Chains A and B, each alone.
Chain A
Amino acid sequence: MPARSKHIFSDWQLVLPLTIFFASFVFGPFALLVVISLLADGSFSGMGADQYIRFFSDAFNVTIAVQTLWIALQATALAAIVGYSLAYIYTLSPPMIQRILLFLIVLPLLTSAVVRTFAWIVILGREGIVNSVLLHLGLIEAPLRILYTPAAIVLALAQIEMPLMVLPIITALTNIDPHMREASEVLGARKWRTFFMVTLPLSIPGVLAGCLLVFAASASAFVVHTLVGGGQNMLMPLYIYQQAIQMNNYPFAAAIAIILLSSVLSVVMVINFIGRRSRGFVHA
């Protein structure tokens, strides 16, 4: 069997076109980006870590980097809490409701991110629904400034990226052997104890997979950052855009892009590491 060719072409011929495409248009450009970030200035006069030194020696830049990651982390935590409950409800629902819920979860993923972000402008704006309700109830006298605050960015990110959190958790929860939960209850553990000692630990790989996706998406969510955060809340994606397009400072923009990329990848690697350990725990 293995000796006979299974398909028309052998494997390496099949992956060749995509590999060439990725080498030319993804990894080639990224390698170039690294080189550009190491240029001393825009004129190829010298190479060195000048741009990185410039970035980290200015407190303003470091604050932008920390704020970007902190906002993404908060959004991930919020999405995890709300998303977990939704995923849990999904697993308890009858098949008919499950189909509708799944469709409702998937639909936002397909809807334009600009449109979903725009929704938050309508909701949180000066004349938005939140301010209308608060004014109507007499809780406030003048409209609050909710839009263009870090809290608004966190809220919008958590809602917009939530489907990325819910889907892997649903997969993890449906993969749990129902006998585990029954066993726990037969042995006398009540609902909360069963949840915290059995269900939650067994679904951790799904939660981590969701956290990974939501964090990566939130840290580089240019549209949400710029529209809900506005110009006052400078975060790394906007900073990259501003330095490249408005200031024409490509080496510095490239350095910020590399810093953003490496911080996202390091968080992803940490989560992956925890994930591997927790999977070991789940299968032990």
Chain B
Amino acid sequence: MRSLEYAEPVGSARESVLSRLERWSFFAVIGTAGSVAILLLIAPTVIVIVTSFTDSYSLKFPPPTFGVRWYAALWTDSPDLARAALTSLQVSIAATAVSTVLASVAALAIAKRRSTWARLLDSLFMSPMMLPPLALGLALLAYFNILGAGVSMTTLIIGHVAITTPYILRTTVASYSQLDPLMLESARSLGARPWFMFRTVTLPLIAPGLAAGAFIAFMVSFDNVAVSLFLSDARNEVLPVRLWTIIESNLDVRAAAVSGVLITTTIVLAIVMERIVGLSRHIK
């Protein structure tokens, strides 16, 4: 007992050096790896933006001289890209509208349930996130061909509804689950009818989640290549497929300018959505 008491200060003194060393090495390792991660998150985007202001015909980085010629080329002689962008907007808006209605209504039933069928349906509806989108594209193409429908704007929108549904379902189910049941209970006890209650209590409370989900769904649809590749023809080519073709075939520097426009638009929209509905909270 006595020797233990005696030994303690010596032990703790040695330990403090060791533990200081360990603390230091721990934060050095975590800090280095974390800084690499942050650099990896930001650097590629910055490099694309810088490259898009090149004045040369190659994607040399850093650019030898700077200019806005490729942005000008987008504006003046890129009818293909403009048409593709318009098609993309139409498809994504339509698909988001349809999947928002379908998914938010279904979420109403799924959210508060813990029953087996509710969980089964939930995982079935979430499955497009795990299934290879290329397989879905191929499956839908074969399906529409056998039905004799061929590919059109409608088939493209249908494909996009399937891939965007999980995103809306996830944010709306989360919002419904966080609804305070007392809120609904008090509305009901005050005599609110179901539809009135939905409009005045439920909907305003889940609106941020719904909006965040719809925004993510729109971006996912606007960005999709794998499904669109199978479901669109030359008449309704979407922007990401056009961009993919450009980069894959001749690596035209206009691709950098398109990327610049897309990055800027995404950042602006994301900041706006962050301010209004707390976007990143809903994705997390």
- Which residues of A approach B to under 8 Å, CB–CB? 5-8, 11-12, 14-15, 17-19, 21-22, 25-30, 32-33, 36, 81-86, 88-89, 99, 101-123, 125, 127-129, 132, 159, 162-163, 166-167, 170-171, 188, 190-192, 195, 212-213, 216, 219-220, 222-223, 226-227, 237, 240-241, 244-245, 250, 253-254, 257-258, 260-261, 264-265, 268
Tell me the smallest distance from the CB of B87 to a CB of chain A, in Å: 15
Is residue B262 contacting chain A, with contact meaning CB distance below 8 A?
A: yes
Given A108-B41, A159-B40: A14 touches B109 (CB 8 Å cut-off)? yes
- Chain A residues with Cβ below 8 Å from B26 are 191-192, 195
Residue contact A118 to B61, C-beta cutoff 8 Å: no
Tell me the smallest distance from the CB of B49 to a CB of chain A, in Å: 10
Residue contact B138 to A33, C-beta cutoff 8 Å: yes
- Which residues of B approach A to under 8 Å, CB–CB? 15, 18-19, 22-23, 25-27, 29-34, 36-38, 40-45, 47-48, 51, 58-62, 101-103, 105-106, 108-110, 113, 118, 121, 124-125, 127-136, 138-143, 146, 158-159, 161-162, 165, 184, 194-195, 198, 216, 219, 222-223, 225-226, 229-230, 240, 243-244, 247-248, 251, 255-256, 258-259, 262-263, 266-267, 269-270, 274, 279-281, 283-284
Pull 6 A–B residue pairs with CB atoms less than 8 Å apart, ordered by A: A18-B165, A32-B143, A85-B32, A122-B48, A122-B256, A191-B19
Given A109-B283, A110-B266, A167-B284: A132 touches B62 (CB 8 Å cut-off)? yes
- Chain B residues with Cβ below 8 Å from A121 are 59, 247, 251
Residue contact B59 to A241, C-beta cutoff 8 Å: no
A19, A25, A123, A240: the one contacting B134 at CB < 8 Å is: A240
User: What is the bound-complex CA distance between A144 and B109, given in angstroms?
Assistant: 57
Tell me the smallest distance from the CB of A248 to a CB of chain B, in Å: 12
Residue contact A114 to B243, C-beta cutoff 8 Å: yes
Residue contact A190 to B127, C-beta cutoff 8 Å: no
A159, A219, A237, A264: the one contacting B226 at CB < 8 Å is: A237
Question: Looking at A17, A18, A30, A104, which has the most chain B CB atoms within 10 Å of its CB?
Answer: A18
Closest partner residue, chain A, to B282 (CB atom): A106
User: What is the bound-complex CA distance between A44 and B27, given in angstroms?
Assistant: 64
Given A33-B142, A257-B135, A261-B135, 13 more A-B residue pairs with CB atoms under 8 Å apart are A7-B108, A8-B195, A22-B165, A26-B127, A33-B138, A85-B29, A103-B274, A118-B243, A127-B60, A216-B129, A220-B132, A222-B134, A227-B247
User: What is the bound-complex CA distance between A86 and B33, given in angstroms?
Assistant: 7
- Chain B residues with Cβ below 8 Å from A170 are 284
Q: How many A-B residue pairs have CB under 8 A?
A: 284
Closest partner residue, chain A, to B135 (CB atom): A257
- Chain A residues with Cβ below 8 Å from B222 are 112
User: What is the bound-complex CA distance between A154 and B284, given in angstroms?
Assistant: 25
User: What is the bound-complex CA distance between A122 and B128, given in angstroms?
Assistant: 31
Residue contact B139 to A30, C-beta cutoff 8 Å: yes
Given A103-B270, A120-B44: A127 touches B61 (CB 8 Å cut-off)? yes
Question: Looking at B37, B58, B118, which has the most chain A CB atoms within 10 Å of its CB?
Answer: B37
Tell me the smallest distance from the CB of A4 to a CB of chain B, in Å: 8
- Chain B residues with Cβ below 8 Å from A167 are 283-284
Residue contact B138 to A162, C-beta cutoff 8 Å: no
Main secondary structure of the interface of A (DSSP, over half): helix
Tell me the smallest distance from the CB of B229 to a CB of chain A, in Å: 7
A15, A125, A188: the one contacting B109 at CB < 8 Å is: A15
Given A14-B109, A191-B22: A222 touches B225 (CB 8 Å cut-off)? yes
Residue contact A220 to B134, C-beta cutoff 8 Å: yes
Tell me the smallest distance from the CB of B196 to a CB of chain A, in Å: 10
Tell me the smallest distance from the CB of A136 to a CB of chain B, in Å: 11
Residue contact B33 to A81, C-beta cutoff 8 Å: yes
Residue contact A18 to B103, C-beta cutoff 8 Å: yes
B42, B113, B259: the one contacting A11 at CB < 8 Å is: B113
- Chain B residues with Cβ below 8 Å from A114 are 223, 225, 240, 243-244, 247, 259
Residue contact B247 to A17, C-beta cutoff 8 Å: no
Question: Looking at A159, A163, A257, which has the most chain B CB atoms within 10 Å of its CB?
Answer: A257
User: What is the bound-complex CA distance between A16 and B237, given in angstroms?
Assistant: 32
Given A7-B198, A104-B38, A114-B240: A19 touches B23 (CB 8 Å cut-off)? no
- Chain A residues with Cβ below 8 Å from B195 are 8
User: What is the bound-complex CA distance between A14 and B169, given in angstroms?
Assistant: 13
Nearest 7 CB-CB pairings of A with B: A85-B33, A220-B132, A119-B44, A86-B37, A29-B139, A89-B34, A191-B26
Given A82-B40, A226-B248: A220 touches B105 (CB 8 Å cut-off)? no
- Chain A residues with Cβ below 8 Å from B229 are 222, 241, 245
- Chain B residues with Cβ below 8 Å from A111 are 45, 223, 262-263, 266
Residue contact A261 to B131, C-beta cutoff 8 Å: yes
User: What is the bound-complex CA distance between A15 and B18, given in angstroms?
Assistant: 60
Residue contact B61 to A190, C-beta cutoff 8 Å: no
